[in-house]
Amino acid sequence: MATIDEELGQIERDIRQLKIEYDQFFGGGRKRPPTEIEWRLELLMKKYSDRGGELKSAQRFRFTNLNQTYAKYKDIFRKKLKQKEEGTVQRHYGAAAKAIEAERAQRVTETETHFSGGAPPAAKNGGAESTAFRMTCTEPDRETDKVDRLYQALLNAKQQAGEDVGKLTPESFAAFVKKKTKDLQQQKNCSEVEYVVEVVGGQAKLKALVKA
């Protein structure tokens, strides 16, 4: 019988595969949507939604992130299926998105940084995109709960991207966040540093945003 961690790992793999096969379906490479994977995911999601009290805090946090990612993709797939059935063309919101991003760029200074316990990971193609996880730190030494959650988010993102997490430890990551926060506070003369974890282009990324 599979353990909870093994089944959570299966959910991660199924979400990635579901996106790949739906992309193939919408692109004309598949005749039917991947209903078998979707059915398996629904069963596992329902299982752990009903048994949330049995999960450890790290497992519960991991499942919540997976559930949010799956819900986001389900909504995207549902809309695309409707458009495919109705023969409609998807509207583009590129201009609006660029305007929002430009406004954000005026308010913050962004520093992209890598942490893997070793060399930065090589860029990868493909892979599912994840919902960004955000966390603001002021004094990491006194905000151990925040640092723990940030660590878990980065760990989940790397696992989702299929990256090696063997050298990623809570202790080394906490030391990294402490040093990075202090350095940016001194360099940018600020008090708060916002960390963002997300998967972009199939690669897990950790960014530090400093309010101007």
**For the residues 88-99, what does the mean pLDDT come to?**
50
- Considering the domain architecture, whether residues 116 and 199 belong to the same structural domain is answered as yes
- Considering the domain architecture, whether residues 59 and 137 belong to the same structural domain is answered as no
How does DSSP assign 33-69, residue by residue?
--HHHHHHHHHHHHHHHHTGGGS-HHHHHHHHHHHHH
164-204 per-position pLDDT tens digit: 877 888 888 889 999 998 988 888 888 889 899 988 888 88
Strand, helix or coil at 167?
A: coil
**Starting from the edge strand earliest in sequence, which strands make up the sheet with 133-137, in order?**
108-113, 203-211, 193-200, 133-137
Strands (E), the chain: 108-113, 133-137, 193-200, 203-211
Low-confidence winner among 113-117, 136-140, 173-177 (lowest mean pLDDT): 113-117
- Considering the domain architecture, whether residues 110 and 174 belong to the same structural domain is answered as yes
Return the pLDDT at 105: 47
How many domains are contained in the chain? 2
- Considering the domain architecture, whether residues 106 and 195 belong to the same structural domain is answered as yes
**For the residues 13-27, what does the mean pLDDT come to?**
88
Is 127 a residue whose pLDDT tops 70? no
Question: In which domain, by residue range, is 57 found?
Answer: 4-86
Is 103 a residue whose pLDDT tops 60? no
Return the pLDDT at 30: 80
Check: CB of residue 40 under 8 Å from CB of residue 14: yes
**Which has the closest alpha carbon to 163: 133, 134, 206, 193?**
206
Return the pLDDT at 176: 92
- Considering the domain architecture, whether residues 38 and 104 belong to the same structural domain is answered as no
**For the residues 67-87, what does the mean pLDDT come to?**
87
Q: Which residue carries 């629904």 as its tokens?
A: 42
Stated pTM of the model: 0.45
With respect to residue 92, please indicate whether it lies within any of the assigned structural domains: no
Return the pLDDT at 122: 45
With respect to residue 94, please indicate whether it lies within any of the assigned structural domains: no
With respect to residue 144, please indicate whether it lies within any of the assigned structural domains: yes
Check: CB of residue 21 under 8 Å from CB of residue 30: yes
With respect to residue 91, please indicate whether it lies within any of the assigned structural domains: no
